[in-house]
Amino acid sequence: MLTELHITNFAIIQELELGFSGGLLIFTGETGAGKSIILDAIMALVGGKVDAGLVRGGCQRAELEAIFSLPQAYISEINAILEREELEQEPRLTLYREIRSNGRSVARVNGSAVSAAILKELGSYLVDIHGQSEHLSLLNVRSHLGLLDRFADCAPELAAYRSEYHRLHALNKELKSLRDLEQEAEKRAELLAFQAQEIEAAHVVPEEEAELEQERSRLANAETLTNSAQQALSLLDEGSPESSAAIDLLGEASRLLEAVARVDKGQGDLAEQLESVLASLTEVNRDLRGYLDGIEFNPKRLEQVEDRLELLHQLKRKYGGTLAAVLEYGQNARAQLEKVQHAGERIAELEVEVKSAEGSVLTAGLALSEKRRIAAQALGTAVEGELNDLSLSGAKFDVSLTQVSSAHGLEIEPGLRVAYGEDGLDQVEFMIAPNPGEGLKPLVKIASGGETSRLMLALKNVLVQADYIPTLIFDEIDQGIGGRVGFVVGEKLWRLGRQHQVMCVTHLSQLAAFGDSHFKVQKQVIGARTLTRVDPLGDEGRVSELAQMTGSTSAANQRAAAEILSSARARQVELGS
DSSP 407-434: EEEEEEETTEEE--BTTBS-EEEEEEE-
Q: What is the pLDDT of residue 7?
A: 94
Task: Note the pTM of the prediction, 2 decimals.
Answer: 0.62
Residue 329: predicted pLDDT: 83
pLDDT value of position 252:
77
> What is the SS3 assignment for 188?
helix
Distance CA 504, CA 523 (A): 19
Q: Which residues 6+ apart lie within 8 Å of 125 measured at CB?
A: 71, 74, 77, 78, 469
Identify the pLDDT of residue 451.
63
CA 245 to each of CA 142, 231, 234, 258, 284: distance values in angstroms, whole numbers, following the listed order: 98, 12, 7, 20, 14
Rounded alpha-carbon distances, angstroms, from residue 516 to 27, 363, 513 = 11, 49, 9
Beta-bridge partner residues of 402: 427
**Which residue stretches of the chain have pLDDT < 50?**
132-134, 577
Task: Please list, in sequence order, all residues whose beta carbon lies within 8 angstroms of the beta carbon of residue 178, skipping any fewer than 6 positions away.
Answer: 339, 343, 346, 347, 350
pLDDT of residue 136: 61
Conformational region of residue 70, where left means phi above 0, alpha means psi within -120 to 50, and beta covers everything else: beta
Number of CB atoms found within 10 A of residue 491's CB: 21
In this predicted model, what pLDDT tens digit does every residue of 77-119 receive, in sequence order?
899 999 999 998 888 999 999 999 988 999 999 999 999 999 9
